[in-house]
Amino acid sequence: MHDKRYQIFISSTYDDLKVERSEVMQALLELDCMPGGMELFPSANEEQWNWIRKVIDESDYYLVIVANRYGSVSDQTGMSYTEMEYRYAADIGKPTIAFLHEDPTGIEAKRSEQSQTGKRKLAQFRKLCETRLVKYWNSPVDLGAKVSRSLTQLIKHEPAIGWVRADKIPEDQSAVILRLRDEISGLKSKLKESSARSRAPDNLACGTDQVEIDFSYQTKKAKTGKNGQAYWVNDDEHDGSLRTTWDDLFSCLAPDLINPASEYRIVSCINNFIEGRTHFKMQEMHPDKKIETIRIYSNVLDQIKVQLRALGLIEIEYGNDWVLTEHGDQHMIELLAQKKAEPSCEPVRPTT
C-alpha cells in the first residue's frame, strides 16, 4: 500500500476565524494532510469561482467552519461564497464535515453578523449543514481536536483517492484506471436513460399551479453632496415574495438549460426573472428610491431544483450543472415554440 496524503479543502469566513483556521491547519498537518482553501484566494469573487471549484474538485475531503458570520455574498447568487462552496462540494459527492459553533450567540458583536438578512441566511445555512455530517465546537483548541478526530474517522469510513508520488505508482495500474473510467461513464449513461424513462407522480404541483418565490432586495435613497451633486446611499434591506406559475418560471429558465448551466448562472436567471415581474410594484412601494440587489433565498432555490427534478424537467450533472431532460426539452418546445396562426376566413385579395 502506498503512502497516501489527502488534500483537505477548508471553507469558512476569513477575518473572524483566523485563529480557528490556524488550529485546523495545524491539526491537518499533524495528520500528514495537505490543507487548502481560503489562503489561496482570501478575497473570493465571481472571477475566482471557477478556480475555487477546481480546487474543491481536486481535494479529497471538504471541511466547513461556521461561527456567527454569513460571509461575503455573491452579487449573482445572493449566497455567501462559503455556502456556495459547501453546496458545490455536497453536490459533487465530496465527503464533507461541517463544524458549527455550538453557541454563536455568545460570540462578540464585531465577529457576528449585523444585518437581519445576513442573520436569516446564516440560520438557513446552519440548518443545511445539519442535514449532513456535523460536529460542534466551542473554542479554537476544541475545534482543532475535533477536526483531527473527525477527519481520522472519515478517512477510515470513506477512504478517498489521495495523492501519491508519481514515481511510486506501478505502470500497470494506468490500464486499470482507464478501464474503471470507462465503466463509470457507462454506468452514468445507464442512469441517465433510466431517469429519462421515469415518470413524475401525478400529485406534484406543475404547469399553471402557483409557486411563491421569496427573495430579499436592497433599497437606496438619494442624497445631495456639498457640491450639489446627487448620489445614492444604502437605505434598507427588505423581504419580498413573487407569486407565479411553474410553467412561467420554467419558460424563463429552460432556454438557458439546453446546454448544461451552472447553478451560479441559474440563480442569476431567477433573480432577473424576479426583477422583471416585480419592478413596477416595488417601485410603487418605495417611491423616490432605487431598487437593487434582488436575491432569491437559498432554501427557495432548493425547492425549485427539487420540484423541477421531480417533474422530470431537469437533471443535475456533475458539478451541480442544470440541464434539460428529453421531457424538459419537449415541454419547453410546447411552451415557447411559435404556433401557426389561425387560418383567416376572409378571401385573399390581390395587391395592386
CATH assignment at residue 95: 3.40.50.10140
- Do 14 and 161 belong to one domain? yes
Residue 193 lies in a domain: no
What is the pLDDT, as a whole number, of residue 1? 38
Quote the mean pLDDT of the chain.
85
In this predicted model, what pLDDT tens digit does every residue of 258-280 receive, in sequence order? 998 888 889 989 999 999 999 88
Total domains in the chain come to: 2
For the chain, where are the E strands, in sequence order? Answer: 7-12, 34-37, 61-66, 96-101, 134-137, 210-224, 230-245, 289-296, 314-317, 321-324
CATH number for position 309: 1.10.10
- Determine the Cα–Cα distance for residues 117 and 242; give it in Å rounded to an integer: 18
When pLDDT is cut at 50, 70 and 90, the band that residue 308 belongs to is very high
Phi, psi of 36 (to 5 degrees): -155, 165
- Do 296 and 159 belong to one domain? no
What is the average per-residue pLDDT within 137-146? 94
- Determine the Cα–Cα distance for residues 70 and 72; give it in Å rounded to an integer: 7
Query: What order do you get walking across the sheet with 289-296 strand by strand?
Result: 230-245, 210-224, 289-296
Closest CA to 82 of 44, 114, 138: 44
Residue 252 lies in a domain: yes
- Do 220 and 301 belong to one domain? yes
Collapsing DSSP to helix, strand or coil, 120 comes out as helix
- Do 154 and 251 belong to one domain? no
Q: In which domain, by residue range, is 153 found?
A: 7-165
Angle between helices 140-157 and 18-30 (to 10 degrees): 40
Decide if pLDDT at 249 tops 90.
Answer: yes
What is the pLDDT, as a whole number, of residue 223? 86
- Do 317 and 253 belong to one domain? yes
Q: In Å, how far are 119, 261, 266 from 271, measured between CA atoms?
A: 21, 15, 9
One-letter amino acid of 235: D
Decide if pLDDT at 37 tops 90.
Answer: no
Decide if pLDDT at 85 tops 80.
Answer: yes
**% of the chain with per-residue pLDDT over 90:** 43
Residue 182 lies in a domain: no
Strand partners, 217: 238
- Do 149 and 34 belong to one domain? yes
Indicate the pTM of the whole model: 0.65
Mode of pairing for the β-strands spanning 314-317 and 289-296: unpaired
Decide if pLDDT at 44 tops 60.
Answer: no
What is the pLDDT, as a whole number, of residue 54? 87
All 3 cell numbers of residue 212? 411563491
How buried is 135 (Cβ within 10 angstroms: 0-12 exposed, 13-18 middle, 19+ buried)?
A: middle
Indicate the range of 42-56, 75-89, 201-215 predicted with least confidence: 42-56
When pLDDT is cut at 50, 70 and 90, the band that residue 117 belongs to is confident
When pLDDT is cut at 50, 70 and 90, the band that residue 334 belongs to is very high
Residue 220 lies in a domain: yes
- Burial code of 19-47, b = ≥16 C-beta within 10 A, e = fewer? ebbebbbebbeebebebbbbeeeeebeee
- Do 142 and 287 belong to one domain? no
What is the average per-residue pLDDT within 108-117? 88
